[in-house]
Amino acid sequence: MFPVTLEGTAAPTLMWAEERSIEPAALAQLRTMADLPWVHGVRVMPDVHVGKGATVGSVIAMRQAVAPAAVGVDIGCGMTAVRTDVTADDLPDSLRSLRARIERAVPVGFAMHENSLDTGALSVSGAGVHKGWTRFWQEFRDLHPGVQSRESKAMKQIGTLGGGNHFIEVCLSDAEEVWLMLHSGSRNIGKELAERHIAVARTLQHNQRLVDRDLAVFLAGTPEMDAYRHDLSWAQEYAARNRAVMLALIMQAFRDALPTRPVRFDDPISCHHNYVSEEVVDGETMLVTRKGAIRAGKGDLGLIPGSMGTGSYVVRGLGSELSFNSASHGAGRTMSRTKAKKRFTVDDLRRQTSGVESRKDAGVIDEIPAAYKDIEQVIDAQADLVEVVAHLRQVVCVKG
């Protein structure tokens, strides 16, 4: 059944979604992107929906160029999860108290730590933590001059969740194993870097005649491209470190909730879903952007979450070259946050998140499950891209 071809585009565009199921604005974005002269091909995931400049759920291979909007403003946003040796029967009687412990450990929404954390005292591991913390922060001074005053804030935001669709969850597998899972990105510093570089790209001469200047690109071999890729790489690592620190804090909170027994954790699974990678596509080295998509090379472990209360999946990539070795990053929205707030009530939220210890107030109505696609259908649509390793259902969900 999939993929299907989006007709009328300059670069081949293959979709793991029916054209009739995709909103017109998203289709227009896909066509505009595919018509850029630097684009080799576009791949569209089943969670596709309209985004700022470039479509969420898109994978774009470009020759000697990159569009910052095709990465997104939350550079390096992604997922981390870890399986514990705890089962459902071992969980404390009060999941509300467990949620409270996690919320005390990890600031959410606009909140941050009062002081930067002593990361050396935490057991921090995970993808993206490749160098010492001192060296990592020293590199802050090499970022875009416009963010130099943000260093203190960025340090205090390491190990914080943020808001929107970011979350921390305690989940159960079908075998009743307890998993810890979280979704977050590069916080305000990644957003500022992205917006500043997009503003620079819009001024470049080769972008002046674009149909949508939100799709402005940087070209290889230019100082603007070098500066963007430098800052992009740092922000992607910041996002990975943010998740690794949060995971360490959550693991300790989880241990504290089970004082009568030791808790063991597997190695964490971690994946970006807003990022750039240099990869070989159709025999040629290209820059591949994934915005709302994960890498699903053969054997790659990945995480595809649903909305709060609907379950998530641990998957293993099948290495589909047709999809540029990619898969979806989640369920994908079916309506805007504004529309969801107008359509649904707190009572609707309570019904749809029944059985999940979570916020059930007006502040998170825009995250109601009905505002998202059916995660089961999203997984079924990409059966040729990933195989399911584990199905998880949430019992605790923390949101900002």
How does pLDDT run along the chain (400 residues), one tens digit per residue?
Answer: 899 999 999 999 999 999 999 999 999 999 999 999 999 999 999 999 999 889 999 999 999 999 999 999 999 999 999 999 999 999 998 999 999 999 999 999 999 999 998 776 676 655 556 668 889 999 999 999 999 999 999 999 999 999 999 999 999 999 999 999 999 999 999 999 999 999 999 999 999 999 888 999 999 999 999 999 999 999 999 999 999 999 999 999 999 999 999 999 999 999 999 999 999 999 999 999 999 999 999 999 999 999 988 999 999 999 999 999 999 999 999 999 999 999 999 999 999 999 999 999 999 999 999 999 999 999 999 999 999 999 999 999 999 8
**Is 332 labelled as part of a ligand binding site?**
yes
**Is 323 labelled as part of a ligand binding site?**
no
Q: Which helix (H) or strand (E) holds 133?
A: helix 133-138
In a domain, 344, yes or no: no
Cα separations in angstroms, 119 against 133, 155, 236, 253: 8, 10, 18, 16
User: Which residues contact residue 129 at a Cβ distance below 8 angstroms, ignoring those fewer than 6 apart?
Assistant: 237, 240, 241, 244
User: Which residues contact residue 362 at a Cβ distance below 8 angstroms, ignoring those fewer than 6 apart?
Assistant: 341, 346
Domain of 93?
Answer: 4-334+372-399
**Is 330 labelled as part of a ligand binding site?**
yes
In a domain, 76, yes or no: yes
Q: Which helix (H) or strand (E) holds 167?
A: strand 167-173
In a domain, 238, yes or no: yes
354-384 pLDDT per residue, tens:
999 999 999 999 999 999 999 999 999 999 9
118-168 pLDDT per residue, tens:
776 676 655 556 668 889 999 999 999 999 999 999 999 999 999 999 999
In a domain, 348, yes or no: no
**Is 102 labelled as part of a ligand binding site?**
no
CATH number (domain holding residue 255): 3.90.1860.10
Angle between helices 95-105 and 223-257 (to 10 degrees): 140
Tokens 């919320």 identify what position?
Answer: 103
**Residue 103 gets which letter from DSSP?**
H
Tokens 């569009």 identify what position?
Answer: 67
**Is 379 labelled as part of a ligand binding site?**
no
pTM of the predicted protein model? 0.95
CB atoms within 10 A of CB 173: 17
Asked whether the CA dihedral 21, 26, 28, 31 is positive or negative, the reply is negative
**Is 331 labelled as part of a ligand binding site?**
yes
In a domain, 74, yes or no: yes
In a domain, 362, yes or no: no
Pairing status of strand 357-358 against strand 386-398? parallel
In a domain, 175, yes or no: yes
**Residue 163 gets which letter from DSSP?**
S
Domain count, the chain: 1
**Is 168 labelled as part of a ligand binding site?**
yes
Report how far residue 204's alpha carbon sits from residue 185's, in angstroms, rounded to the nearest whole number: 28
Q: Which residues are marked as active site?
A: 329
Report how far residue 61's alpha carbon sits from residue 342's, in angstroms, rounded to the nearest whole number: 38
Asked whether the CA dihedral 296, 301, 307, 309 is positive or negative, the reply is positive
Three-state secondary structure readout of 71-136: CCCCCCCEEEEEEEEEEHHHCCCCHHHHHHHHHHHCCCCCCCCCCCCCHHHCCCCCCCCCCCHHHH
**Is 269 labelled as part of a ligand binding site?**
no
In a domain, 9, yes or no: yes
Cα separations in angstroms, 94 against 24, 100, 113, 166, 260: 46, 10, 26, 23, 15
